[in-house]
Chains A and B, each alone.
Chain A
Amino acid sequence: MSRVGEAGKREAGVRSDCWISVELRDAGGIAIALKSKVRALYGEAIEAQLRDGCRVLGVAHASITVEDAGALPYVLAARLEAAVRRAGHQPAAPLLPQARSGLKEAGERGRLRRSRLYLPGNEPRFFPNAGLHGPDGLILDLEDSVAPSEKDAARVLVRNALRTIDFCGAERMVRINQGLQGLGDLEWVVPHGVQLVLIPKVEDPRQVAEVDERITALSRTGEGCAEVFLMPIIESALGAWRAYEIAKASPNVVGLAIGLEDYTADIGAQRTTAGTESFWARAQVLNGARAAGVQPIDTVFSDVGDEAGLRASVLEAKSLGFIGKGCIHPRQVAVVHDAFAPTADEIDKAVRIVRAYEDAEARGLGVVSLGTKMIDAPVVKRALATVALAVRMGRLESGGGE
């Protein structure tokens, strides 16, 4: 059996990552050969961290080679642990970075989820600053953005990132893999502060239930958040067909999202800009989500250079009733938030309706009217929602428009 394991990256152009090779030995202690871009500044700190890491992992004798391009400590730790595991050593204990404070605080069920920013789970250089761009949710992705051969290394890295990185108020999300691999992912993230798990390619409510059960079992250890929310992603004809059942599969489901790349392939259509081919599925997911009382969330907009296209796409999603959109680049976040916000006209109109409603209530009138027009109850309800949303998004000082 091989006793050598390597993990990380060392191609030209790699930044903020490292490559570590571990060769387990029977004697001789820990020998470290370090090549680092930051050697003059952190060389000693890196060696000390590696030695301490070996002690925690229960590795007494090994030859370790490191090529470092400015990896942060939590990345070094993740690459060391992954290399040790790949060398065939079962760690005495995982090499956990110290957890940030507030890691056990659960998310808020009905929070704004306008933007969710996908970060490839094996690309640590994107992690530390992603939250600064202000997305409502940050997704550390273990699924499509991670090569099959790197799934194990990404798990360690994502776990360490959850414990270390300041998400700046963004919901801490992870997209797990499909099926058994996805269930296996959960033990790497649930005890480490994940607040919401995205489940890909759901076409059966049982998939959601299985994830939910596994999370409940893991939560009993007392680590991690008291509540972990779920967001199933519908990416197939069958999934769309069962949207409502899927949204109702667990009380922890807070949103239902649609992913159109796989969906259009599944129904045998080409994805077009107009999106006629996916209209039914989007409407189905939207209605399934609303019927189940969870948030309907639209697909990603993948042309990062097309700001006008993104804005139009969000306005279209908003007009259908969606409340969120997927982002694959931080610069999309502000555009998405701006486009989902009620416009000045919408806010103005809503405020006048709410005022009329409050006035009618104060005077004990059964009928609300604005000028000569009668206002129906659903219109009042929508106006109240618009005012509440405008306040939450900082577009209006206080509710009621006083």
Chain B
Amino acid sequence: MSRQVQNAAGRMVPVEINGVAAVPYAGPRGHQPTGRKTGPLLRSCADFPADGDKRVESIKQALVNAGLKDGMTISTHHHLRNGDRVANLVFAAAAELGVKDLRWFPSASFPCHDGMIAHMDNGVIHHIEGSLNGPLGDYCTEGRMRGTAVLRSHGGRWQAIQDGEVRIDIAVIAAPTADPFGNATGDRGPAACGLLGFALADSQYADHVIVVTDNLVPFPCIPWQIQGNNVDQVVVIDSIGDPAKIVSGSTQITKSPDRLLIAEMTARFCDEAGIIRDGFSFQAGAGGTALSFGLFLRDIMRERRIKARFVRGGSNQYLVNMLEEGLTDYILDGQTFDLEGVRSMRENPGHVNTSPFTSYNWNGKGNFASMLDCVVLGATEVDLGFNGNVVTHSDGRLLHGIGGWQNCLFSKCTILPIPSFRDRIPVIVDNVTTLCGPGELIDVIVTERGIAINPLRRDLIEAVQGSSLPIRSLVDIKREVEDLCGGPAAKPRLGQKVVAAIKWVDGTVIDAVRQLEK
């Protein structure tokens, strides 16, 4: 087992992961990268058909042409969410070819990818570096995966590709529409998913890029979100995914009165703190509470005749309505959640597709996330130091990916609206089970029992002084909830074996997830 050291957050982390040296977390902004960005292999257009037709007959043949062999890294993206068929087809083909010990490097995994467990059991996949939830999360947390999982934020994934920490041998990009040259877009076609931003780094940095589509159009595919000049091969198949599971017909607002209350309190906080003003910007996640927050915010903006300069999404029908109603100049979209979002992206020049490079990348010359006036995010746990956990449940099981969560913490005001307990489980704990976000960056925690402001944010505390908001200390809310729940929860029994490493946005290791004991 690799040696472990205590990092700047006080967490014990391995100094080597899957045989590669790892840097311990050094604080929210403590790590300074050096050197040059990595790059893909040099290629020549003389090696590609002059007529631009890069089609091959099957995914399997494309993998053979790409030189697939044992131990390689294959990446896929998650814009098709739980409707994705392509990742499963790729590993089925790899299994048929008898290849072993692959590393799967998805931008996220979904329940539709549970079949990867069989590929890990039979040796085709060695380990996964990406989000792990449901049965895949249990498989990992129970210590059954051969390698160590590595969980990164969307921005951290770009950083890891860009600085050479992860070299992608073969990127397979599911494309709702593409041409034979490899230009591709996500905003149209039977499996339309909006944008393809999560696949952009893969297309630019992988040694070999395969575009898989079920909607081939003659050159040129306009718009091209993925540039064909980066693409080696194009495969046409019957269906890349199940449209019903890619985007929802319409996004559902929560009906839970408690979640609505929390969302309303969050919007009121933003109002009282002076965040909602002409030209402001915000980002809210895709969960029910965050969506409802957007509606309460919209009501305040309408009443005051306030217009945002831009909103970041996760776009959905509600953000689209705000754009069309003139409540914001732009939607800077990171992924599209419903059909209205896809339509708007296709039709409205104010609805702009973005990528983890523009929005989140630590190794970029700035990014959008830190420019936001306010972001509203979820968490599974928070602790008295305002630290947040978003990847494990209090019982120690992996249940979520990091997504853009860590990257968004750099906004000017980061707010976590969360229930103070779920069923019997308190959400405010002494120390988070897994540290994903440092308390220095988490400003406000809104629960149905009160709003806690990070003592570091004296400006926010002063801004809402004298308001009717129920401002309380975290300790106070925690005590009340523990009274209700019958004391603090016991800690899960964890072994020493590290089953997953949690990367910070700069590639350092902020925490490790340990195997659950039976």
A331 adjacent to B257 (CB under 8 Å): yes
A41 adjacent to B261 (CB under 8 Å): no
B486 adjacent to A72 (CB under 8 Å): yes
Is B484 among interface residues, defined by CB-CB distance under 8 A? Answer: yes
Contact of B394 among A41, A43, A133 (CB under 8 A): A41
- 5 further contact pairs, Cβ within 8 A, besides A38-B395, A70-B424: A38-B423, A40-B492, A45-B486, A45-B490, A128-B484
A132 to B493, CA, bound (A): 35
Interface members, chain B 476-505 (any A CB < 8 Å) = 480, 484-487, 489-490, 492-493
Interface members, chain B 383-400 (any A CB < 8 Å) = 394-396
A70 to B449, CA, bound (A): 19
Contact of B258 among A15, A49, A72, A129 (CB under 8 A): A129
Is B260 among interface residues, defined by CB-CB distance under 8 A? Answer: yes
Q: Total contacts A to B, CB within 8 angstroms?
A: 63
Q: Which residues of A contact B424 (CB under 8 A)?
A: 16, 38, 41-42, 70-72
The 8 lowest CB-CB distance pairs between A and B, nearest first, are A70-B423, A41-B489, A330-B257, A40-B395, A73-B486, A70-B424, A40-B492, A129-B258
Is B448 among interface residues, defined by CB-CB distance under 8 A? Answer: yes
A45 to B490, CA, bound (A): 9
From B422, which residue of chain A is reached at the shortest CB distance? A70
Is A69 among interface residues, defined by CB-CB distance under 8 A? Answer: yes
Most buried by A among B257, B422, B448: B257
Q: Can you list 15 A-B contacts with CB-CB less than 8 angstroms, sorted by A residue number? A: A40-B492, A40-B493, A41-B394, A41-B424, A42-B485, A42-B486, A45-B487, A45-B490, A69-B423, A70-B422, A70-B423, A70-B424, A72-B424, A72-B486, A132-B449
A133 to B448, CA, bound (A): 9
A15 to B486, CA, bound (A): 17
Binding site for B on A (CB under 8 A): 15-16, 37-38, 40-45, 49, 69-73, 128-129, 132-133, 164, 166, 329-331
Known contacts: A38-B425, A40-B395. The answer to whether A129 contacts B448 by CB under 8 A is: yes
A329 adjacent to B489 (CB under 8 Å): no
A123 to B424, CA, bound (A): 15
A41 adjacent to B448 (CB under 8 Å): no
A76 to B201, CA, bound (A): 52
Q: Which residues of B contact A329 (CB under 8 A)?
A: 257
Binding site for A on B (CB under 8 A): 257-258, 260-261, 394-396, 422-425, 448-449, 480, 484-487, 489-490, 492-493
A49 to B257, CA, bound (A): 31
Q: Which residues of B contact A42 (CB under 8 A)?
A: 424, 485-486, 489-490
A16 to B425, CA, bound (A): 10
A44 adjacent to B257 (CB under 8 Å): no
A70 adjacent to B425 (CB under 8 Å): yes
Most buried by A among B261, B423, B448: B423
Q: Which residues of B contact A128 (CB under 8 A)?
A: 484
Q: Which residues of B contact A16 (CB under 8 A)?
A: 423-424
Q: How far is the CB of A385 from chain B (nearest CB, A)?
A: 25
B484 adjacent to A72 (CB under 8 Å): yes
A393 to B124, CA, bound (A): 68
B492 adjacent to A41 (CB under 8 Å): yes
A133 adjacent to B395 (CB under 8 Å): no
Q: How far is the CB of A126 from chain B (nearest CB, A)?
A: 9
Q: How far is the CB of A117 from chain B (nearest CB, A)?
A: 10
Q: How far is the CB of B81 from chain A (nearest CB, A)?
A: 24
Q: Which residues of A contact B396 (CB under 8 A)?
A: 40
From A76, which residue of chain B is reached at the shortest CB distance? B486
A294 to B9, CA, bound (A): 62
B423 adjacent to A132 (CB under 8 Å): no
B490 adjacent to A44 (CB under 8 Å): yes
A129 to B422, CA, bound (A): 12
Q: How far is the CB of B40 from chain A (nearest CB, A)?
A: 45
Q: Which residues of A contact B485 (CB under 8 A)?
A: 42, 72-73
A49 to B485, CA, bound (A): 12
A330 to B448, CA, bound (A): 13
Q: How far is the CB of A338 from chain B (nearest CB, A)?
A: 13
A65 to B396, CA, bound (A): 26
A41 to B425, CA, bound (A): 8
Q: Which residues of B contact A129 (CB under 8 A)?
A: 257-258, 261, 448
A266 to B146, CA, bound (A): 72
From A168, which residue of chain B is reached at the shortest CB distance? B449
Q: How far is the CB of A373 from chain B (nearest CB, A)?
A: 35
Known contacts: A42-B486, A49-B486, A132-B449. The answer to whether A37 contacts B257 by CB under 8 A is: no
From B449, which residue of chain A is reached at the shortest CB distance? A132
Known contacts: A129-B448, A329-B257. The answer to whether A15 contacts B490 by CB under 8 A is: no
B490 adjacent to A133 (CB under 8 Å): no
Q: Which residues of B contact A43 (CB under 8 A)?
A: 490
Q: How far is the CB of A186 from chain B (nearest CB, A)?
A: 27
A44 to B487, CA, bound (A): 12
A44 to B493, CA, bound (A): 13
A69 to B448, CA, bound (A): 21
A53 to B402, CA, bound (A): 42
A398 to B485, CA, bound (A): 41
A16 to B422, CA, bound (A): 9
Q: Which residues of B contact A331 (CB under 8 A)?
A: 257, 260
B486 adjacent to A41 (CB under 8 Å): no
A133 adjacent to B257 (CB under 8 Å): yes
Q: Which residues of B contact A37 (CB under 8 A)?
A: 423
A42 to B260, CA, bound (A): 28
A44 to B425, CA, bound (A): 14
A71 to B486, CA, bound (A): 10
From B493, which residue of chain A is reached at the shortest CB distance? A40
Q: How far is the CB of B28 from chain A (nearest CB, A)?
A: 30
A129 to B486, CA, bound (A): 16
A40 to B258, CA, bound (A): 26
From B486, which residue of chain A is reached at the shortest CB distance? A73
Q: Which residues of A contact B493 (CB under 8 A)?
A: 40
From B485, which residue of chain A is reached at the shortest CB distance? A72
A41 to B257, CA, bound (A): 26
Q: How far is the CB of B293 from chain A (nearest CB, A)?
A: 15
A129 to B257, CA, bound (A): 9
Q: Which residues of B contact A164 (CB under 8 A)?
A: 484
A42 to B480, CA, bound (A): 17
B486 adjacent to A133 (CB under 8 Å): no
From A165, which residue of chain B is reached at the shortest CB distance? B484
Q: Which residues of B contact A133 (CB under 8 A)?
A: 257, 261
Q: How far is the CB of A107 from chain B (nearest CB, A)?
A: 23
Known contacts: A329-B257, A330-B257. The answer to whether A15 contacts B394 by CB under 8 A is: no
Q: How far is the CB of B259 from chain A (nearest CB, A)?
A: 10
Q: How far is the CB of A344 from chain B (nearest CB, A)?
A: 15
A45 to B424, CA, bound (A): 12
From A71, which residue of chain B is reached at the shortest CB distance? B424
From A69, which residue of chain B is reached at the shortest CB distance? B423
Q: How far is the CB of A225 from chain B (nearest CB, A)?
A: 22
Q: Which residues of B contact A330 (CB under 8 A)?
A: 257-258, 261
From A44, which residue of chain B is reached at the shortest CB distance? B490
Q: Which residues of A contact B486 (CB under 8 A)?
A: 42, 45, 49, 72-73
Q: How far is the CB of A368 from chain B (nearest CB, A)?
A: 35
